A and B are shown apart, each in its own frame.
Chain A
Amino acid sequence: MFFNSLTFAAFLPIVFILYWFVFKRHLKSQNLLVLVASYVFYGWWDYRFLSLIILSTIVDYFVGLALQKQQDTKKRKWLLACSLVFNLSLLGFFKYANFFIESWVDAWQMLGVEMQSSSLQIILPVGISFYTFQTLSYTIDVYRKKMEPTSSFVQFATYVAFFPQLVAGPIERASHLLPQFKIPRTFNFETAKSGVHLIIWGLFQKVVIADSCATYVNAIFTNYEGMNSLTLLLGAVYFAFQIYGDFAGYSNIAIGVARLLGFDLMRNFNYPYFSRDIAEFWRRWHISLSTWFRDYLYIPLGGSKGSKTQQIRNVFVIFIVSGFWHGANWTFVAWGALNALYFLPLLLLKQNRNNIDIVAGGRFFPSIKEIFQIGSTFVLTCLAWVFFRSSSITDSLAYLERLFTNLEFKKQYLNIERYSVEMLLLIAFFLGVEWVYRQRETPLYGKFDMVKIVIVLLMIIVFGVFSEHQSFIYFQF
């Protein structure tokens, strides 16, 4: 079920009414309702893959309980290993099996040995990367004794399958979300209203910004060989806004829907394109994943401590693994490695925490220095996005080569019957709004909220892309 579908528009009010009016006074029933709703939400896509979520839930539920009872360090390690092996094997099989088979065949072919290439017919279960990481965080935290495991299977299952964030995050920590299933939720008008704001703003980001950009991005990236430098540059910029609008839009809707049910989910994006360096960008982009990798991979590896060699290794490990998490393709690995290269100088010069405050705090306009910093960070990010969007490394390199060697800057007419520059106005408007409201969670909250809502709704109706249903990009991860 997609958030931007009529099915979900019917599903959400039904869940809302049952949740607050029918099961209002009974916590267990409310939790059970959320669990059933979550399974319906997921099963709408493919009910067969529900078995994976249920299996993962059962394994980690019992591992959690066993970890609590077990005091022997060695046995506790074994239990943790069981959970890790089980979850990562599921992820590895469904997401990476074909990639490893193909890479293996390619490697032998490069050595001149011909091998029969055959891929397995594997469907990638939607959201597997998200819920796998969520259950892993539970087991690891219980193992580290940072939290007590839950004895309620329903609560744990609801935590794993919580429908607002099941298929594309934010990746919630058990220590943050799980306790919320234990306490009665009370309806709060301001919280619910902010939820509606997030849903509307998320829809705007998705159907107006991301999906409009997608039309241009697809036309440009598919025919990049016939495009000039200006169009290729715009292609990269449009993709930057497509993926941002798509993913931040989804996250905002997820957080908004959770708020309607009285839950608080972590913020996933914080105006990343106003970052002044790459380190700041990674503190503002896909925050739930970055912090997951920081806590469960980077810090255990030693983080920024240790020798220079160790620091460099750790940075490359976290960024490459993060890239690989996105998809089974070398393009994602290259995207991760490129970001590691961007980040490394900041770390080595100890400048990675230079920009932790709000940009141009207390001022409307940024300084020249800030404009330069934001601009250069955005350019670096866009270059990396070319790898992320291309279907192969060869395509990304050819795209970049043409971008830097063609040197023609005339607006081009695309096969989608519009000029390559036409999206810029909408993006400028979007950036302007984000800039003005960069200190707030969404631009809609605050004074004249109803007027702002009407304007945004009007823009969704008029500028939204509804004819070509665009799935959320992060569903494929």
Chain B
Amino acid sequence: MKRFLIYIITTLIAVCLLLFMMDYIYSYVYKHAVPRNKVANLLATPLKNIDYVFIGSSRVDNTIDASLITKKTGKSAINLGVQGGKLDDYYLMLQLLAHKKISTDSVFIQVDYVYNIDGTSEILKSNLIPHINVPVIDTYIKERDPNYWSLRYVPFFRYMKFDYKIGFREFFNSSIGKAPKHNLMNGYSPKYKKQNSVLQYKLPDTIAKENSVIEKIKAFAEAEEITIVFFTAPFCKNTQNIAYVDKLKIQLPSLIDYSRLFIDRDDYFYNCSHLNNSGAQKFTEIFTDDHLNTNP
């Protein structure tokens, strides 16, 4: 039995050493490699000023072509939309901008049904995990993830828990310096053609009475002297409960509503809630003409 216990303890020590070693290697690569997602890019950017910042979910990620804005206005712009993003995530993005001391002219936040939702994007969380040592990110994970302790202190646990996004595949791509699919300084991820022949979508029947994160965002913007503009990106014609956006305008009186902008242009949609590349280009153009200074 004594021999066996020594054998087991040796094996367990080997496991611990491997976990420490891999954690160090992965963290080192993610910290020093070419950024492959928006969080890593934001943390690595040397920029101290970005004129226009767009924050939101995939309805920003796939919708705002920041390079077109730069072309039209001569000012810098970045799309920080993330797949599955919720208001909490938008707040974090604002905090990261402040953490990096990046000044902005205006921050545009896309709000729609997310007003009713609490929660965070798992995709964004997976991008944040390698940078858990950054205080803002540490607080974000601590307040929102029940596994915070393990993620923070158990070696390699964070990479195992989010292996589908930051596991070996992503680690390998980062180590060889493989460029991301889309230009992160622009941040726009276009969708092409149409996902389904039938476009349909349903917005919630009712609207939440309030959203505490919105209030936090407003307070944070005021404290940091950031100009925040809320807007709603287009939905397709066949959207049920489109009147939800009218209710949202009551809650957020300054909301710029583009929800019905392309109501007769189904060809602009990838699916009912996401524009395709043609739609995104057109929308970015209209948005720029309407709200951004095009005469530098």
Contacts of B169 on A, CB cut-off 8 Å? 418, 422
Contacts of A467 on B, CB cut-off 8 Å? 160-164, 167
Say yes or no: A462 contacts B14, CB within 8 Å.
Answer: no
Segment of B4-12, B95-103, B196-204 engaged in the interface with chain A:
B4-12
| Contact (A466, B163) CB under 8 Å given A193-B4, A418-B169 | yes
Interface size on A, residues (CB 8 A): 22
Segment of A169-177, A376-384, A449-457 engaged in the interface with chain B:
A449-457
Say yes or no: A187 contacts B4, CB within 8 Å.
Answer: yes
Nearest chain B CB to A462 CB, angstrom units: 5
B156 interface hit (Cβ, 8 Å): yes
Interface size on B, residues (CB 8 A): 21
Contacts of B22 on A, CB cut-off 8 Å? 458, 461-462
Contacts of A450 on B, CB cut-off 8 Å? 10, 14
A232 interface hit (Cβ, 8 Å): no
Most chain B CB within 10 A, of A193, A453, A463, A467, is at A467
User: Digit string of B139-153 for contact with A (CB within 8 Å is 1, else 0)?
Assistant: 000000000000000
Nearest chain B CB to A164 CB, angstrom units: 18
Nearest chain A CB to B165 CB, angstrom units: 8
Which residues of chain A from 6 to 26 have a CB within 8 Å of any chain B CB? Answer: 20
B171, closest chain A residue (CB): A462
Measured in the bound complex, the distance between the Cα atoms of B156 and A450 in whole Å is: 22
Measured in the bound complex, the distance between the Cα atoms of B79 and A406 in whole Å is: 40
User: Digit string of A432-461 for contact with B (CB within 8 Å is 1, else 0)?
Assistant: 000000000000000000100110011001
B29 interface hit (Cβ, 8 Å): no
Which residues of chain A from 315 to 364 have a CB within 8 Å of any chain B CB? Answer: none
B172, closest chain A residue (CB): A462
Measured in the bound complex, the distance between the Cα atoms of B8 and A418 in whole Å is: 37
B192 interface hit (Cβ, 8 Å): no
User: Digit string of B1-40 for contact with A (CB within 8 Å is 1, else 0)?
Assistant: 1011001101100110011001000000000000000000
| Contact (A464, B14) CB under 8 Å given A189-B3, A418-B169 | no
Measured in the bound complex, the distance between the Cα atoms of B168 and A458 in whole Å is: 12
Nearest chain A CB to B256 CB, angstrom units: 33
Most chain A CB within 10 A, of B162, B163, B168, B169, is at B163
- Identify 18 residue pairs between A and B in the complex whose beta-carbon atoms are under 8 Å apart, listed by A's number: A187-B1, A187-B4, A189-B1, A189-B7, A192-B4, A418-B169, A453-B11, A454-B18, A458-B22, A461-B15, A461-B18, A461-B156, A461-B160, A463-B168, A464-B163, A465-B163, A466-B161, A466-B163
Told that A215-B164, A467-B164 touch, could you supply 4 new A-B pairs with CB distance under 8 A?
A196-B8, A450-B14, A453-B14, A457-B11
